[in-house]
Amino acid sequence: MTAPTESLLKTPLHALHLELGARMVPFAGYSMPVQYPSGLMAEHHHTRQAAGLFDVSHMGQLKLVGPDAAAALETLMPVDVIGLGYDNGVCRQRYGLLLTDDGTIIDDLMFVNRGEDLFVIVNGACKATDIAHIQDRIGNRCAVLPLPDRALLALQGPQAVTALSRLLTGVDRLVFMTGGHFIWEGADLFITRSGYTGEDGFEISVPAGHAEALARQLLAQPEVKPIGLGARNSLRLEAGLCLYGSDIDTHTTPVEAGLTWALQKVRRDGGERAGGFPGAPRVLAQLRGEGLARKRVGLIALERVPVRDHSELHDLAGQRIGEVTSGLLGPTIDRPVAMGYVDIAHAALGTRVNAMVRGKAVPMEVSAMPFVPTRYYRG
């Protein structure tokens, strides 16, 4: 059941989406564009080949201010916050995970050391509970300041840097997972070279009142077209990136989710600041291989049958071993791809399993991710 249109929140680009002919759908409490007239497949391919502009203003933006902010935030996550550098205006960014006291994932997020503060971006559907959680846990150690008056745009694709450089001098000097402050027509922008597509690109935090003008300027560039949530989903799945609420949630741990790359050595057993985060005993035990019963894996179908979310996964003897959490026909790879959880005995690359689609067994193979090579710009 969808929410009544009048109860949905609108981003600062809502009128522009309608002008561009977007099909709007409820998402994370907002009215959001799922696709434009060219359609999901064309939008997906355009982003891979040129540059796509995404409205991601439903995401939550906040900043943590105070000399104890980094140490405080580190108590909520199994990642290295204190060691994230800030060098002469180069703001470094890192992926993080808020955990429950049982070691499961409240949300995944991005955070940036900007020198004067930590800038944090959280998922739209989780932002109210995330901010409340952060405020409750560390609000006595630093100021937790939501930024509801800022919009967020993502410009993604191999020609994103070409298009954005026409508007902003110096943005090409950013490399993957770094950010900086820029001024555009009197507005303070904060831009990171990052994204959710596997392509090179940027995420642009902009004052809400300047968002539409900036979006129009970007769309006026010959490389850039507007892209909706549908293609955003297919792009991120091909890149092997998790969607909160589907692939990770409060029933999954970082180790089960295959996100161990995000847990730096300094927070692990033997590290300088090992443990000290919510659920540490469980997470550290799983890192040692103890108590780990299932794992997120990539899957490629061996027949041309799309396998959707929530499809059961069976072993070759017909026993249930897991479930698909994200699945579709990958437009770039032109094969059905999926992510899901299987028991440890079936998690090895090359393992054959069956997905149950309308009562029919569709053969799949556990495969490495990403399904499409990433093209992040590392300098």
Model confidence over 214-257: pLDDT tens digits? 999 999 999 999 999 999 999 999 999 999 999 999 999 999 99
Query: Of the residues 212, 229, 244, which one is the last residue of a structural domain?
Result: 244
Distance, CA of 194 to CA of 155 (rounded, Å): 9
How far is residue 31 CA from its own chain's centroid? 19
- Domain with residue 355: its CATH number is 2.40.30.110
How far is residue 124 CA from its own chain's centroid? 11
Q: Do residue 234 and residue 306 come from a single domain?
A: no
At 5, the pLDDT band (50, 70, 90 cuts) reads low
pLDDT digits (tens, 9 = 90+) for 185-196: 999 999 999 999
Query: Of the residues 186, 210, 244, which one is the last residue of a structural domain?
Result: 244
pLDDT at 124 over 70: yes
Give pTM, 2 decimals: 0.96
At 89, the pLDDT band (50, 70, 90 cuts) reads confident
Confirm whether 258 is domain-assigned: no
Distance, CA of 259 to CA of 253 (rounded, Å): 9
- Domain with residue 30: its CATH number is 3.30.1360.120
Distance, CA of 144 to CA of 132 (rounded, Å): 9
Q: Do residue 161 and residue 298 come from a single domain?
A: no
pLDDT of residue 4: 56
Q: Do residue 66 and residue 211 come from a single domain?
A: yes
Confirm whether 160 is domain-assigned: yes
Query: Which amino acid type is present at position 151?
Result: A
* Tokens 């696709």 -> residue: 35
Confirm whether 256 is domain-assigned: no
Q: Do residue 200 and residue 114 come from a single domain?
A: yes
Q: Do residue 80 and residue 145 come from a single domain?
A: yes
pLDDT of residue 1: 38
Q: Do residue 165 and residue 306 come from a single domain?
A: no
Query: Of the residues 187, 209, 244, which one is the last residue of a structural domain?
Result: 244
Q: Do residue 93 and residue 176 come from a single domain?
A: yes
Confirm whether 279 is domain-assigned: no
pLDDT at 130 over 80: yes
Query: Could you list the residue range(s) of the whole structural domain that residue 8 is in?
Result: 1-244
Q: Do residue 187 and residue 314 come from a single domain?
A: no
Q: Do residue 128 and residue 229 come from a single domain?
A: yes
Q: Do residue 216 and residue 317 come from a single domain?
A: no
At 9, the pLDDT band (50, 70, 90 cuts) reads very high
- Beta strands 90-99 and 150-156, pairing class: unpaired
Confirm whether 286 is domain-assigned: no
Number of domains forming the structure of the chain: 2
344, two tokens: 């440890």
Closest CA to 244 of 105, 367, 371: 105
Confirm whether 123 is domain-assigned: yes
Q: Do residue 63 and residue 211 come from a single domain?
A: yes
Find the mean pLDDT for residues 280-289: 98
Q: Do residue 88 and residue 227 come from a single domain?
A: yes
Closest CA to 344 of 296, 310, 311: 296
Confirm whether 310 is domain-assigned: yes
Confirm whether 85 is domain-assigned: yes
* Tokens 């790879």 -> residue: 333
- Residue 93's alpha-carbon distances to 139, 318, 364, in angstroms, are 22, 44, 36
pLDDT at 340 over 60: yes
